[in-house]
Each structure stands twice: as structure tokens, then as C-alpha cells.
Chains A and B, each alone.
Chain A
Amino acid sequence: MSGREVVLGRIRRALRDVPRSEAPDDVPVPREYARAHSSSGTGAAGTSEALTGLLAENLADYRAVVHRTGTDGLSPLLCRLLAARGSATVLVPPGLPPHWLKATDPVRIHDRAATTARELDSVDSVVTGCAVAIADTGTIVLDGGPGQGRRRITLIPDHHICVVRAPEQVVASVPEALERLDPARPLTWISGPSATSDIELDRVEGVHGPRTLEVVLVEEPAPGG
């Protein structure tokens, strides 16, 4: 008998107490939890500005460096951030809007299928967009779409700049984020830089992923404007 038959047979014998007529959906699942929390709700209670504000606050709380700018300010800001970091090379995923990096000095390295992990290890910074950002938890989610690239490119370089378009890419909560995401795509949820709680259960930032995560919130109209 195959392992499959053994395991499925054991399961069916173990579940003899479950009536044959019971369908999976007959087991009730109460969904008495919020689609979005009141502090951040997209309804009357929370405006999109409040949502972007909460996202910025929660990102910063987990030591991501947050910048807010308008569409026109994006390119000069990215230039300043890469210069301040002293980056000589910046990794560019396929589909990144070319004008984002038009003002930057570092050498642009384009990620290709043949690019090895070792080659990525020698790049200083990476700039990407994202698929969605979650205000409640301070999370950005990448799905490998245009301007986001393969999962490894936001993992191996030590410096990741992620651009979020607000308000259209910002959702309030985890349930709202899952609704927007496609499970068939490889997804990476990122909440702050790489961290560990393994030494005395105290959080330390910076292990294997990028030790510096900068998130640029591009707002239209520009913040304060």
C-alpha cells in the first residue's frame, strides 16, 4: 500500500464520528471579525490620508525609513537616497518606470534570468515598486509584477528602496490585502528590515535580508501640497 493510501485510510477511520452526510461547509465558521480596524477604516472613520499616515507610522515603528513625496519629487529623492548611501550600483527589475532613476548616478544593473545570486550579492542597492501596502501592520507586498522583479533581488542586496503609490496601493488591513493579491504569483510580504528575536527574545534588526529598508510613499497631490 502506498503512503498516500495509508494516510488517507487512517484519516477516514479516525473521522468515524463525523456523519457521512456532513459536508465541509456544514461546519460553521463565524467571521465576526473586522474587515478593517476602526482606527484605520477606509469608511467614514478613516480617510485615505489617515491610512497613508498610519502606514508610515507602522513602517517606521519597525525601523523602515519612510519618505513621503509627490510624483515630481520621486526621481530627485531616489537620487539623494542612493547618494547618501554611497551606492555605486543599483539593481533595476524589469518594468521599473525608467524616469524613476533618470537622475541617479549609480550604475544601473538590470536583473536577467542568467544573473546569479553571487552577482546580486555584489550590488549595493535595489529599487522596486510593490503590489500592495497594508496600513494596519506596516507591510509592503511584492508579487513579482512589473517593477518588482524576482524575489531574490529584494533579498540579497543590503539596501532596498520600495516605492508605494498612495493612496491606490494602500489598503487598511490584512483581509483587504489578500483580496487584491493573486495566489498564483510568488508573494513576499515585508514588514521592516530583516530582524530576529532569537537572542533573549529581543528584536534585533539586520540578519540575512536587507538591513536597510527605505519606503517611499508617493502621494498625489504631494503631501502638504
Chain B
Amino acid sequence: MSGGTFLGMPAFPEAAAAAVRDTRLRGNLRHATGTIRAKRAQAVAELPDWAGLRAAGAAIKDRTLRHLDHYLERLEEAVTASGGTVHWAADAAEANRIVTQLVRATGESEVVKVKSMATQEIGLNAALEAAGIRAYETDLAELIVQLGDDLPSHILVPAIHRNRGEIRDVFRSEMGRWGRPAPEDLSEEPAELAEAARLHLREKFLRAKVGISGANFMVAETGTLVVVESEGNGRMCLTLPETLISVVGIEKVVPTWRDLEVFLQLLPRSSTAERMNPYTSMWTGAADAEGADGPRDFHLVLLDNGRTDALADTVGRQALRCIRCSACLNVCPVYERAGGHAYGSAYPGPIGAILTPQLRGTVTELDASLPYASSLCGACYEVCPVAIDIPQVLVHLRERVVEGGEATVRGRRTTVRPARGHAAERAAMRAARWVFEHPAALRAGQRLASRTRRLHPRRLPGPGRAWTASRELPEVPAESFRDWWLRERGDDGGGRKGRGERGERRDRGGDR
């Protein structure tokens, strides 16, 4: 019951092709994303100053990222001063080791978890299980994923690929193996499903001694952590246990208490399309006495795991502004059809397509294929509450995949070799560049193409076949634009003549 793994998944095109054939998955996704899209638009339209909030959100994150060392040191100071302990983890293995040791030190063999992207990213549950510690996911969707031995497919709603009927089936067959079973006559009414989860998890909350969470924001100025949620499972895990361990990406820090006024408006409206999510918890350090309000032991594990590699890329850095709202997933036509699993990481959708290849590098076929998992339509950029120009980063990463070049990998500057499989593309681009630099060759080629246009195939042979499987080749006109221009306007000698134009004339002369 370790849950699935993203390791060894096929590249995006293969995984997506399989997902697109799954009509139930497509139906579930179409329904869910369609619902939330309309609601988000309405929630955003309620605020006349949305554009101002968005600009401020982006700027606060940029300020933080450009001085990340400064803010992390301030945060560490503030958390320590209020009774917490700060740990630093350079990668997933180090973070898992730290958390495992902290849990062991309590003598406990089970923990309750708040939904957290960071712990999903580092595979904490599997690491804990290997150490004999059982981690219980308590967010409803994470519970569905854990019980179903499944993988998350959405940032906000990890079980978005499951409809209510499937959820009922998972609850009925699996809950008993993990604790209190679901009632025999459980229906697929969402309220009944939520009630079953309430009863199943309550016994775990009440006896839990160790809680593990992430955080949406960390305030450098005050050492305050913020968790935004809906169900109350977060509040249970953050307040009832004696020990709380929060694993948080280093980019989640914001400079000041006041900065929360921007993000607490941007996040709920962008993610669940609510004016405010049902519950937000804020705490600073540890409780100072037995029986006081909250855990007496508080540990903050600051996680790098590739974030500094993204930080080193001046174009890709903006991906670290992300506040994990998932609005970009919900508007993405590619995500809606391919689903989240095809992206092969905890971060699916447009943000995943730019984040994963930066966190993990573009070495594997899957990670190298992610920057292509987009039609570059730009809807993701429009809805992003912190204005991440996702299409810009996608194009930038495509260039890295095809051309290779300088990049930082695990903290070291390295020269990335071009990915295999793009040799034909590179050759075509080199040839095109040569042709465009040599007008005579371009002209000769265009005329040849025009004269032989009746002989052109409708489909490309060889490696080009895949491209034309879903596209028509453009028809070649009888006459190129350049020829048409020269024929119609070529004798108009009164205009300004650039070097190129003189070249044209020489070219024409030679042709006669």
C-alpha cells in the first residue's frame, strides 16, 4: 500500500495518447474543469482591483526570489526565536531522512498528513513506510488516491480523475483495510462520501501524536506559517498532535505580514473560486506549555530539491512565483484532454510542464517532452494570479531541450547536451537558416516548389509522417509572394532601396 510512483513513466505523448482514449477520464475532467472555470471567472470579476493584486503578487514574489537567501535567514531567525527548529534539505533524500529521524525520535509509528505538494514531490510516504512508519493522508482527495493505490492528477483536487461512483467503490472496498470501514450501504452522494471520510479519519486525528504538513506561505518577518484548506483536516493535523513537522519549498517565503493581504485574496479565488476558503491556519513557532494551543514541538524543513536550479535560470525563475492555485490546469485544453498523470510528476498541467523539467532537469525522455505538452495558447498566463508567463518559459525550455546549452543542475553549472530525437529538427532549422541568408537559393527553391506543386504529396513520408497525420500540408501557390511583388511593383524605382532589394534586382537580372 505504498501508493503509486511516477518513476519510469512514459514520455508525455505516449501517456497522453492513452489518456485521451479513456472516455470516462475525459468526461470526468471535462465536467470538473468546466465547473470550476466558470466559477473562477465570477470570483475574479467580483474584485475590480484584480489586475493590481496580480501585479503586486508577482512583484512580491520577484522581490523574494531576488533576495531569497536574505529572507530565508530572516525566517529561520524568527521561527527559532518563537520556539521552532529549522532544518535545511538540499534534496528529496535529505528531506526524507530528516523527517524520518524526527518521527523516530518521538517513538511513534504513525503520522497524520495534511495535503502537501512538497511531500508528494519528495515521495515522503514511501520513505516513511520503508522506515516502518505509516503515513495517513487526511485530505479527502488524497485519501481517495491513497486508498485506491493511485497517483494524484491535479494540484488542488488530486482525485479529479475519479467521479463519485468510482470514489464510492474505492471507499467501500478499501477503507476497512486502513481503519474504520465505510458503511455497507454507502451511496455516491457527495455528502455521504464526505461523512464516510469524516468518520474514518476522526479516530486517526484523535490519537495522532505527530502531524506532517506543508505550507502555502511562510512570513520571513514574523516566522508565521500559513496553511489554506477547506475540510478541517489541516486544522486537525496542525493543532492536535504533540509534534508538527512542516516540509516547505524555499520559494514559499514572503517578506512581510502585510504581503499576505495580496495572496489571501489571490489564492482562494484562483483555486476553489471562493471569496475565502473555509479554513486558514496561521501559527508562529511552537506552543510554550503542555496543554497550550497547538504542538509543543515544531520543526520546519526547508526544501531545495531543484528549486535553486530554477532560480539560476533568469527566464525560468518566474516559475518559482507559483502559489499552487491550479487555475492554469483548469483552463488548459491539453490538461483537460490528457489528464494529470500524463505529466509524470506531482505537478501536472502547464505549471508542471515548466516546473518539473526545471526541478528534475531534462535528462529523461519524459522530462524532455514536458515543455512540448502545450499548444502555447496562453490561457494559463492569463489566469495566473502571479502572472507567470508560462508560454515564454515553455519556449525557453524547448530551446534548451533542442539546442542544449548552459544550465544549473543540482547546484552546478553544466552544459546540457541537446536531447536525442531532435536531430532532424535541428538539421531542418540549420538548412532553413542558410536558405534565408541566401536569397538566390530561396528564390530558386520557391520557384522549383511552385513548378512542381502538382506533384507534392498530401502526407509527408518518413519521420514527417507523424506531423501530417493530423495536419494537411499547406498548398504551394503558383507564384511566390516575392515573384508577385516584383511582377506588380518591381518597376517602381522611386522607393528606398535597401541592400536586400538591390540583391533582388541582381537576382532577377541574372534570371533573365
Q: Report which of A17, A58, A199 forms a contact with B164, defined as CB distance below 8 A.
A: A199
CB proximity of A96 to chain B, nearest CB, Å: 16
Point out the residue from A121, A184, A196 that lies within 8 Å of B284, measured CB to CB: A184
**Is residue A84 contacting chain B, with contact meaning CB distance below 8 A?**
no
Residue pair A201, B157 in contact (C-beta under 8 Å): yes
Q: Mark A146-175, 1 if CB is under 8 A from B, else 0.
A: 000011100100000000000000000011
Kindly state whether residue A18 has any CB partner on chain B within 8 Å.
yes
Which chain A residues lie closer than 8 Å to B289 at the CB level? Answer: 113
Q: Please indicate the chain A residues that have their CB under 8 angstroms from the CB of B33 in the complex.
A: 201
Instruction: Select from chain A the residue with minimum beta-carbon distance to B305.
Output: A7
> Does chain B have a CB within 8 A of A9?
yes
- Give Cα distance in the complex from A133 to B337, angstroms: 42
Within 8 A of B (CB), among A169-225: 174-175, 178, 183-210
A-chain residues with CB within 8 Å of residue B35 when the two chains form the complex: 200-202
Whether A186 and B277, one on each chain, are in contact in the complex, defined by CB atoms closer than 8 angstroms, is no
- B402 in the interface, Cβ–Cβ < 8 Å? no
Q: Once bound together, how far apart are the Cα atoms of A136 and B70, in whole Å?
A: 34
Please tell me if the beta carbons of A155 and B311 are within 8 angstroms of each other in the complex. no
Cβ distance A109 to chain B, nearest Cβ, rounded Å:
16
* Count of B interface residues, CB-CB < 8 Å: 104
Which of A6, A134, A187 sits near B90, CB closer than 8 Å? A6
| Option from B235, B265, B274, B308 in Cβ contact (under 8 Å) with A14 | B308
C-beta contact mask, A24-40 vs B, less than 8 Å → 1, else 0? 11011111111001100
- Verify if A118 is at the interface (C-beta below 8 Å from B): yes
The answer to whether B419 has its CB under 8 Å from any CB of chain A is no
Interface residue B383 (Cβ < 8 Å from any Cβ of A): no
Chain B residues with Cβ under 8 A from A150's Cβ? Answer: 239, 292-294
The answer to whether B261 touches A175 (Cβ under 8 A) is: yes
- Mask, A92-110, CB within 8 Å of B = 1, is 0000000000000000000
A175 to B261 alpha-carbon distance, docked (Å)? 5
User: Are the C-beta atoms of A14 and B49 separated by less than 8 Å?
Assistant: no
The answer, among A2, A152, A174, A189, for a CB contact under 8 Å with B239, is A152
Q: Is the CB of A30 within 8 A of B239?
A: no
Which of A33, A117, A199, A204 makes the CB contact (< 8 A) with B56? Answer: A33
Rank and list the top 5 A-B pairs by shortest CB-CB distance, nearest first.
A113-B291, A209-B232, A208-B232, A14-B312, A33-B52
Chain A positions near chain B (C-beta within 8 angstroms): 2-4, 6-15, 17-18, 22-25, 27-34, 37-38, 58, 62, 112-115, 117-118, 121, 134, 136-139, 144, 150-152, 155, 174-175, 178, 183-210
Instruction: Identify 21 residue pairs between A and B in the complex whose beta-carbon atoms are under 8 Å apart, listed by A's number.
Output: A2-B88, A3-B90, A15-B312, A24-B70, A27-B67, A33-B53, A33-B265, A58-B275, A113-B289, A150-B239, A152-B235, A184-B284, A187-B283, A189-B282, A194-B230, A197-B230, A198-B140, A203-B272, A203-B274, A207-B140, A208-B235
